[in-house]
Amino acid sequence: MHGLLAAVGPAVQALDFAAIEKAWIRPPLESRLHYLEGPGFRLFVSRPKDCRRPVRASSPDGSVEVLIDGYLLTDLLPESAGPDEHLSAFAAAVSAGGLAGALKRLTIAMFAMAVHEAREQRLHILSDPLTLVPVYHAPARSGGYLVSTRPPALAESGLIDTEPDYAGIAEWIFTASPLASRTALKSLSFLRPEHILTFDEGEAKMREVSWPEPIFAIEPDESLRPEPAALTEAFQRSCRRHAALGGKVAQLQSAGLDSRFILAHWPSERQTCFTYGVPGSTEVEIARRAAEAARAEFHHVPTPVEDYLEAYDTMFRLNGMGIFYTRYAAAHAAREHGFDTLLDGFYGDVFYGGSFYTDLPGQTLAGRLQSLLTIHRDFRVGPERYDELAEGILARTWIERPLEKFCSPEFIAEVTSRRAEMLDDISQTLRQVRPEGGSVSVLVRNLKMQNRVSRFSGQQGVLCRGHVEIYFPFAGDVEQLRMCLRLPPASISYNRMYVPMYRESAPHLARVVSGHSLLPLKTAPVIQRIFETTLTHLKLMDRWARLSVGGSTSWDTWPAWLTTSHMQAFVERELIQANVSEKSTLQQTFNEIRAGQPVATGVIYHLLPIARWLSMS
């Protein structure tokens, strides 16, 4: 499996590397550890033994060494150059002009990486611009620091403080992800996007510094008039770059627009698609229709509860969240079919659909009404209103959870008392990513990119990397990323650009229904939005799904899983052991589920990994 772990300072001597190694090379994949050591630090990158992509490079003068979990390409070499040549060119660029200069030359980036500059006696650890490979760090009680892409490994080391952070846990429960740099533990921090951990060997200190020319500083250029053909060409360029990385590549197919767009433009004569989800659901049926329209081979991966329970420990070790099992299972199936890489459409709806520019806090009634007609209206505020905006953002992201069905009164009281800290984290992040022009659209976009995407949605890729490598044709191309962030929100919001891109470049896939409105994708965005909003308000979407697609809109496996005795026993053991719940509470809830009574089960998705963290404290 993939991953990175580092110890710096006194933690090098305190960490039991032999025990860590045993945990990192065990199944599901046979792995090999690649080490990098220097004065005051020791680290390794874990790679599958059959992985052919480069992991290490040195500058020509030997002053810089790079160890990478993931991959990168640069503009330093022609596109015909291989990934190993690009990694060597990157190391040479660091030697010639420093890390900041080398980072500006990236064209493709998805990695956690360590860079050692011997002349400067300095070690850097960083992730890619969007933190597609999240990195976590914590001070060791013995002195020094531990850093890893697998946060449970730091807690299991026995070297860090494991006191729970109930504010982070509350954020996880009520907004689906911890915010700012919080995690489930007070000592454990998330390395924010476009930040670098730098360890100065002479001072034995680690500091967090910003990337040069951060993407979060990019603001839309309202003078631009984007054309669908030009944007499609930029995406095709990203596909060609990713294809140059090599590997035997398959497609992670869903009902969404993003995986379908990859299906249309990936440079391959015939593709193989793996999808996931509840059999007979619209999600699976639409994915199948998209694959058929593209003449691709299609596989639906079943996800029985027994397989989830067997995989849970490994999933939790990989990302500390244990979520997105269906994608983890699809990645396993791809590996079983001989593939070593999957394509993921992550971020397509953001870049070309403008999804992060919608549902703005503090918007006027006129603005909300215009949004129903797919008309985007931005407005501007100063930092003096950020606390007010934080209230509005929390109100929109706060998910009402029926905690009394699964949690003890003491646990409920603990997490519900953390609202003020949650608001403070949102306000703090708003001030960190505020745009110069004061645009609320850009402010909300940056907040989402800093938090939920890299912390929650991005974890699906981390889990898939337990079996295969992942390519992100939308999110992994730095040039495309910078271009898309300059697009005016009014031009791309509500799929106003995405649908024309489909009509022009992939009409055969535009005829397949959208996974949201369940109308043909080629339908005007305004009609799709009004139709979907109306049917959702009238609670008729499920009936329309049966008429238009022939399946149910339910994609969630949890309600069926929770009717089984195996899952009920697992939930009971995990939650009671962590003092999250009580036996009488869970037995009453499971009786209701067995009796067919409606019980909102989504909170279990998050409570199980939270309970595992609490059991480690």
User: Rounded to two decimals, what is the model's pTM?
Assistant: 0.95
Say whether both 383 and 326 belong to one domain.
no
pLDDT on residue 601: 84
C-beta separation of 287 from 255 below 8 A: yes
Q: 10 Å Cβ neighbour count for 286?
A: 26
* 530, part of any domain: no
Residue ending a domain, choose from 157, 189, 213: 213
Residue ending a domain, choose from 454, 478, 505: 454
Angle between the N-to-C axes of helices 305-319 and 325-336, in degrees from 0 to 180, rounded to the nearest 10? 100
pLDDT on residue 255: 93
What is the identity of the amino acid at 533? T
C-beta separation of 281 from 262 below 8 A: no
CA–CA distance, 77 with 71 (Å, rounded to integer): 15
Number of folded domains that form the chain: 4
* 329, part of any domain: yes
Nearest residue to 130 via CA among 327, 356, 335? 356
Say whether both 475 and 449 belong to one domain.
no
pLDDT on residue 322: 83
Q: Any idea which residue has 């980072």 for tokens?
A: 103
**Six token digits for residue 584:** 């009488």
CA–CA distance, 361 with 392 (Å, rounded to integer): 5
378-384 long-range contacts, CB within 8 A, separation 24+ = 378/439, 378/440, 378/441, 378/489, 378/490, 379/440, 380/437, 380/438, 380/439, 380/440, 381/438, 381/440, 382/438, 383/430, 383/431, 383/434
* 223, part of any domain: no
**What's 489's domain CATH number?**
3.40.50.620
Say whether both 45 and 158 belong to one domain.
yes
CA–CA distance, 537 with 63 (Å, rounded to integer): 62
Output the average pLDDT for the chain: 93
Half-sphere exposure of 391 (CA within 13 A, CB side): 5
Say whether both 330 and 412 belong to one domain.
no
Say whether both 299 and 234 belong to one domain.
yes
pLDDT on residue 401: 83
C-beta separation of 309 from 570 below 8 A: yes
Say whether both 38 and 72 belong to one domain.
yes
CA–CA distance, 295 with 309 (Å, rounded to integer): 35
* 545, part of any domain: no
Sign of torsion, CA 142 148 151 156? negative
What is the identity of the amino acid at 320? G
CA–CA distance, 241 with 231 (Å, rounded to integer): 16
Say whether both 445 and 476 belong to one domain.
no
* 285, part of any domain: yes
Helix, strand and coil in the chain, % to nearest 5: 45, 15, 35
Q: Any idea which residue has 């699964």 for tokens?
A: 406
- Summarised one tens digit per residue, pLDDT across range 259-277 is 999 999 999 888 999 999 8
Q: Buried b vs exposed e over 138-165: b needs ≥16 C-beta within 10 Å? A: bbbeeebbbbbbbbbbbbbbebbebebb
Kindly give, in sequence order, each residue whose CB lies less than 8 Å from that of residue 344, ignoring residues fewer than 6 positions away. Answer: 252, 259, 460, 461, 464, 470, 471, 472
* 580, part of any domain: yes
CA–CA distance, 80 with 244 (Å, rounded to integer): 7
CA–CA distance, 281 with 439 (Å, rounded to integer): 39
pLDDT on residue 499: 97
* 519, part of any domain: no
Say whether both 332 and 377 belong to one domain.
no
Angle between the N-to-C axes of helices 498-505 and 257-265, in degrees from 0 to 180, rounded to the nearest 10? 30
Say whether both 177 and 253 belong to one domain.
no
Q: 10 Å Cβ neighbour count for 439?
A: 22
**Six token digits for residue 479:** 């040039």
Say whether both 400 and 471 belong to one domain.
no
**What's 124's domain CATH number?**
3.60.20.10
* 542, part of any domain: no
Q: What residue ranges in 211-351 does DSSP mark as E strands? A: 249-252, 272-275, 297-300, 341-343
pLDDT on residue 454: 66
Residue 566 lies in domain: 558-616
CA–CA distance, 435 with 482 (Å, rounded to integer): 15
Nearest residue to 277 via CA among 319, 329, 315? 329
Say whether both 76 and 36 belong to one domain.
yes
Residue ending a domain, choose from 213, 237, 260: 213
**Ranges under pLDDT 70 in the chain:** 1, 25-29, 453-454, 555
Say whether both 77 and 110 belong to one domain.
yes
